[in-house]
Structure 1
């Protein structure tokens, strides 16, 4: 597989920021008219919802990317796709936090990650409600708008607030023991309904870490790049076909990460 040049990656990085903002602007128009949207449920999970807004915004992102980089692969939450052998894959969640979006809560965002030669190298999360663009490119640091980001400097889970997420893809027995262990260590947690946004907050040092037993690639890959470039560490999400099947997500600074692995009942790779 031919390696991508730095200039080629930079071009995709800058364009990912543009696409995220264009998609968020389209999504925000729907948000202002959310009471008129028809809502559907995905399968039997009543918490997993989708609307015409999700599909329209994803199609916008897909078309913009295809026009600029027609040879690149695309994996979207609503339209699927994804090729683990592709040279370059764009991974997009048009509205992460759809339930929040539909209920008038400000905890939603547009999430874009780019994988090059099997490694996540670009992460962009745009929060239009607060006009914050979280962005990172491997080897170039992480930023919120134009301000550099660093992960939380705390040395123990009790030194900050932990972000957590869960879904009906895992049983309560997988998730609840972690919450119990965290509380027994003096820690505290939040869950805001958008995993992508919370991982961006880890990169910005607002949360001390993030854990979710199973997360999809379109929600997690941008934050993985953001956190690594902000000085934190994450598990190897792409192991065991994580791009297609999803995987556990764990991220924090080095000291807290090591502590968190001891609180989790799952195997962390």
Structure 2
């Protein structure tokens, strides 16, 4: 895909994600009225998730009808497309439904096998994180970079957990972090954990298994902010999900070893 085509999609993504965030925030203020379903253990979905995904897909499909879409709630559309938008309409739905103001809209673009665009918006704080390949990362238009932390005993890592994986290895990983005097937080949104890593407020994000719609945007943003990220798309990560590790460059190798992340790093 030509750079001007990526740029057009980048500016469209900024506008669409902001609008979707505003709509999601309206649902958030009326969350007690929402219909909610259970998809799995500690895994909820509401009518707000579906409405926001439909809004994003509809807007982008009008502008780029040849593109494909992979959304958390609606699945794949135009499956043979070479350029695919990857959507999490509300990442952190459990927080959203409990009235905890730590959730976001996440939109990534996969082009030529790489995450070429990432946009994450937290409408509660009005923070819009964005990146496109080769052009750096920003927060509300201000350039951002990962932190300068080099030692585990000075670091704070965000982590996630899914009941798709056993509890014991996760507990062992937490123990390994604490034994290394590395602090951690579990915040409930992988996308925002990656965004905060890109902005240097956290020093990394790890989860043993996560789906692509949770990380497509965030991995692009971290990488463009100067961070190191694992090869999430390896071993069919697009379809099956994968482990995710993103951090400052100097922390990547020790964290990869400590947390037993097997996939190789991208520079």
Quickly name the TM-score band, shorter chain normalised. over 0.9
Within 2, Cα distance between the matches of 1:250 and 1:146? 26
Equivalent in 198, 204, 216 of residue 203 of structure 1: 198
Q: How far apart are 1:84 and its partner, in Å?
A: 7.8
1:141 aligns with 2:136: yes
Within 2, Cα distance between the matches of 1:169 and 1:30? 28
Alignment check: 8 A CA contact 2:129 2:139 kept: yes
| Alignment deviations for residues 85-127 of structure 1 (CA, whole Å, 9 cap, x no partner) | 6321000000000010000000100000001111111000000
Within 1, Cα distance between the matches of 2:255 and 2:263? 10
Equivalent in 14, 18, 23 of residue 15 of structure 2: 18
- Give the TM-score normalised by the residue count of structure 2: 0.96
Equivalent in 29, 36, 43 of residue 33 of structure 2: 36
Alignment check: 8 A CA contact 2:232 2:263 kept: no
**SS of aligned partner of 2:181:** coil
Query: How many residue pairs align between the two structures?
Result: 264
Within 1, Cα distance between the matches of 2:13 and 2:88? 13
- Matching of residues 1-269 of structure 1 within 5 Å: 4-42=1-39, 45-81=40-76, 86-269=81-264
Q: How far apart are 1:82 and its partner, in Å?
A: 6.3
Within 2, Cα distance between the matches of 1:118 and 1:85? 14
Within 2, Cα distance between the matches of 1:143 and 1:40? 35
Q: Which runs of 4+ in 1 moved over 4 A?
A: 82-85
Within 2, Cα distance between the matches of 1:229 and 1:260? 20
Within 2, Cα distance between the matches of 1:181 and 1:245? 27
Within 2, Cα distance between the matches of 1:74 and 1:257? 31
Within 1, Cα distance between the matches of 2:259 and 2:85? 30
Alignment check: 8 A CA contact 1:134 1:200 kept: yes
Alignment check: 8 A CA contact 1:233 1:251 kept: yes
Structure 2 segments unaligned to the other structure (5+ residues)? none
Q: How far apart are 1:53 and its partner, in Å?
A: 0.4
| More divergent stretch after superposition (149-158 vs 68-77) | 149-158
Alignment check: 8 A CA contact 2:68 2:79 kept: no
- Give the TM-score normalised by the residue count of structure 1: 0.95
Alignment check: 8 A CA contact 2:67 2:78 kept: no
Within 1, Cα distance between the matches of 2:185 and 2:75? 29
Q: How far apart are 1:266 and its partner, in Å?
A: 4.3
